[in-house]
Amino acid sequence: MLTIFKQIFTWWNQQTLGTRLQIFFSGKLVGKDENGNKYYESKSGRRWVIYNGEVEASKIPHEWYSWMHYIKNKIENEHELNKYDWQKNHLPNQTGSDNSYHPKKYIKNVKKKYKSWKS
């Protein structure tokens, strides 16, 4: 029950009631990517995506990014791109999380400019 309320009233929890209505009346499912994101297009040509899980724009693969932004290029026409062994899978933006990048040199040379409170 709480999940339904979250989806109706908050845009950061996937789709809202307005988006559901737009999909029902004028949305046509164009496709789905390997992450489970669904891509829609209206009769007027407007395009949008419903994310699978957390709403993160970097989760859109480059093929669908080109489609979303009306970009015509050769990648869009290829059905399968060759991926090499050294290529890593996509990770969402890690800024602000425990997995964000911190150079070792920077961490060693950081000196506190304040005194911590003692309890």
Q: What DSSP line would sit under 13-44, residue for residue? A: SS--HHHHHHHHHH-EEEEE-TT--EEEE-TT
The pLDDT value given to residue 14: 65
The whole-chain average pLDDT of the chain stands at 77
DSSP assignment letter at 7: H
Q: Which residue has the higher pLDDT, 94 or 17?
A: 94
DSSP assignment letter at 74: H
Decide if 50 contacts 41 (C-beta within 8 A).
no
> pTM to 2 decimals?
0.59
Averaged over 9-17, what is the pLDDT?
Answer: 66
In angstroms, the CA 80 to CA 76 distance is: 10
**Span 31-83, pLDDT tens digits:** 998 888 999 999 898 998 888 877 788 888 878 888 888 887 655 445 556 77
pLDDT above 60 for 114: yes
In angstroms, the CA 33 to CA 11 distance is: 21
In angstroms, the CA 68 to CA 30 distance is: 11
Averaged over 77-106, what is the pLDDT?
Answer: 73
Averaged over 107-114, what is the pLDDT?
Answer: 66
The pLDDT value given to residue 110: 64
In angstroms, the CA 80 to CA 99 distance is: 31
